Chains A and B, each alone.
Chain A
Amino acid sequence: MNPKDKNRISRFTPVQRIFHVGLILSFLTQSSTGLSRLYIETPWGKKMAWIFGGYESCLTIHKYTGIFMLCWFVAHLIHLALKIDWRKFPWSLFGPDSLLPRLEDLGQAIQHTVWILGIDRLIRSDRWGCFKRLDGLLMKITRLPPLNRVNYFKEIDGLLPEIIKPPNFDRWGYWEKFDYWGVFWGIPVLGITGLLLAYPLISTRIIPGWGLNVALWIHRIEAILAMGHVFIIHFFIGHLRPHSFPMDRAMFEGSVDLDATRHERPAWVARLEETGRIESFLVPQASVRRRVIFYIFGYTAITIGFFLLIGGLVNSTSITW
């Protein structure tokens, strides 16, 4: 094969992609059956419940898919245990390849927000002449000769604090880590409250019955948080923002475009090039047929998500909470 064809950089292993596909399928099933039951008073909820065979049948599907998700989560934990470099434990957990949050992530999030708001450009262009005026004021006070105008912006560049520079992302952006830990916390919370609610005769032997009132509300709010986050924020970042539009195939194909990654995650590519491992990360693009499947799958998920999101929002005032 022509090495020039290898224009993509590998980002996810097949096992990770299988985990994600299983998560998509079970999450959408849980969302639709759960919302069918929550919205059963409305025509929208009734129609959706009809797809799954009615109110009772929704619950059956919801319970067993929930148990599947918990098994999936346990399988993921086993996967993690096998992947961790135990010889260098616990230091191996804190590298840039790890999904554990680091202090840099907070800094990068702030840098990114500053970049999003265009503050660095405002300062560079000196839009309102603040720097010029400040300079003049300083000249008046100190009676020093003016700064070298030619090198003015270069000097400012050096003087700019770290916060105003664009973020130098490594392998995982802070938003990706947030997504990962959101699921990592969400599945146990939803799973435990869900199990308590699914088997009340057994669970009330352990907790008092009024604990189910509490569990129900925790289950509800966490589910709404998860759906809102996935259907709005995760889908927007993965599909709809101009950088990813029409779809970031990374989680399905396993690789991303090298040039785009060099632009978006410069620290990661630089790190790979420095250690000379970049060659082993380069892969060719997937076949057209597979790409078509990825797009169909991705857009089906998005359609279902938006359907649930819009239906849920529109009907939210006409149900008994």
Chain B
Amino acid sequence: MMRATNKFCRDFLLYMVGSLIGLAILVTSFPKAAWPQEEATSLISRYKGYEVSTGYYEEYEVKPLEKRPLVGVPGVTRGLFPYSPTGAPVRIRTRLADSHQGIQFYSNLKCKDCHPRETRDIHTVRVNLTCRQCHGNEPIASIQHYYSPMNPIRRHAYICSKCHEGASASFASYIVHAPNPAILSTMESFPILFFAFWFMMILAVGTFAAFLPHTMAWGIRELLMKLENSKGEPKR
């Protein structure tokens, strides 16, 4: 009886593992998953994609987007902020038709002269995108300017979907110029990233801090014991 059960278990296991592997191989041969591009109605989220994209439901204005982390000047939400350590305070520039309005010798500057951090992210470094491929030609409108292609209500359609076909407004809320997750100012601008990063870091550093010295000392101890045993009488 027991033997038969064992055999059944083994056969069943082999069958399951085999079918899983087969399924995995089969999945690779399927065509790419595609979702319909048009809006879909459902009881759960009626016209959600449409609402999020346009800010309208039928003729009513709706709240366009849920609260999202947006990287800005830490501690400044409105009003004046220091544009550079040496420069005079300027107007907050995220709502202008020309975001670089009034900057002296602007035509002689390169983007990275003032935005060095924005040239160090996956899109720029790995895929070699240039600034203009997303931000467009002069004048570059501020991302919050109502007619800007970068405005979150249409960013997904005007910018992201140039490469990411079918991008939604939610997709476009990915922070391309992601802040450094380790620094304290990220706790203000993007707290989830900050805390997730430090949770994982503490886990990783804790593991290494405990196990690296432990394992090394273990090796040394065994080596010493081996030397001792080969010299004198065997111990335990």
Contacts and interface: CB of A to CB of B under 8 A. Distances in A.
B173 interface: yes
Contacts of B168: 201, 204-205
A124 B3 CA distance: 52
A231 to B, nearest CB: 12
Nearest to A224: B204
Interface stretch (A132-140, A239-247, A283-291, A292-300): A239-247
B171 A232 contact: no
Interface residues of A, number: 55
A305 to B, nearest CB: 15
Interface in A71-113: 71-72, 74-75, 78-79, 82, 112-113
Contacts of A237: 215, 218
A190 to B, nearest CB: 11
Contacts of B172: 209
Interface stretch (B92-100, B101-109, B190-198): B190-198
A64 B28 contact: yes
A241 B170 CA distance: 51
Contacts of B216: 236
A199 B222 contact: no
Contacts of B167: 201
B33 interface: yes
B16 interface: yes
Interface string A192-235: 00000001111011011110111001100110110011001100
B125 A115 contact: no
B221 A118 contact: yes
A71 B16 CA distance: 10
B80 interface: no
Contacts, number: 139
A217 B196 contact: yes
Interface residues on B, range: 35 or more
Interface SS majority for chain B: helix
Contacts of B33: 199, 202
Contacts of A221: 197, 200-201, 203-204
A55 B35 contact: no
A150 interface: no
A259 B121 CA distance: 56
A290 B120 CA distance: 50
Contacts of A240: 219
B204 A212 contact: no
Nearest to B21: A71
A144 interface: no
Contacts of B222: 241-243
B203 A217 contact: no
Contacts of A243: 222
A177 B155 CA distance: 48
B125 A71 contact: no
A320 interface: yes
A38 B11 CA distance: 42
Contacts of B24: 64, 67-68, 71
Given A200-B171, A204-B170, A222-B200, A116 B218 contact: yes
B33 to A, nearest CB: 7
B208 to A, nearest CB: 6
A80 to B, nearest CB: 11
Interface in B157-210: 164, 166-168, 170-175, 178, 181, 190, 192-193, 196-197, 200-201, 203-204, 207-208
A210 B174 contact: yes
A183 interface: no
A82 B168 CA distance: 43
Contact of A41 (B13, B23, B126, B221): B126
B131 interface: no
Contacts of B204: 221-222, 224-225, 228
A40 interface: yes
Contact of B196 (A214, A224, A242): A214
Contacts of A68: 24
Given A71-B24, A214-B192, A78 B16 contact: yes
A113 B223 contact: no
Interface of B: 9, 12-13, 16-17, 20-21, 23-24, 27-28, 33, 35, 66, 68-69, 120-122, 125-126, 164, 166-168, 170-175, 178, 181, 190, 192-193, 196-197, 200-201, 203-204, 207-208, 211-212, 214-219, 221-223, 225-226, 236
11 contacts: A37-B126, A71-B24, A82-B9, A117-B217, A118-B221, A204-B170, A210-B175, A225-B204, A225-B208, A236-B219, A242-B222
Given A72-B20, A201-B168, 9 more contacts: A71-B23, A75-B16, A78-B16, A116-B218, A116-B221, A202-B35, A207-B170, A217-B200, A225-B200
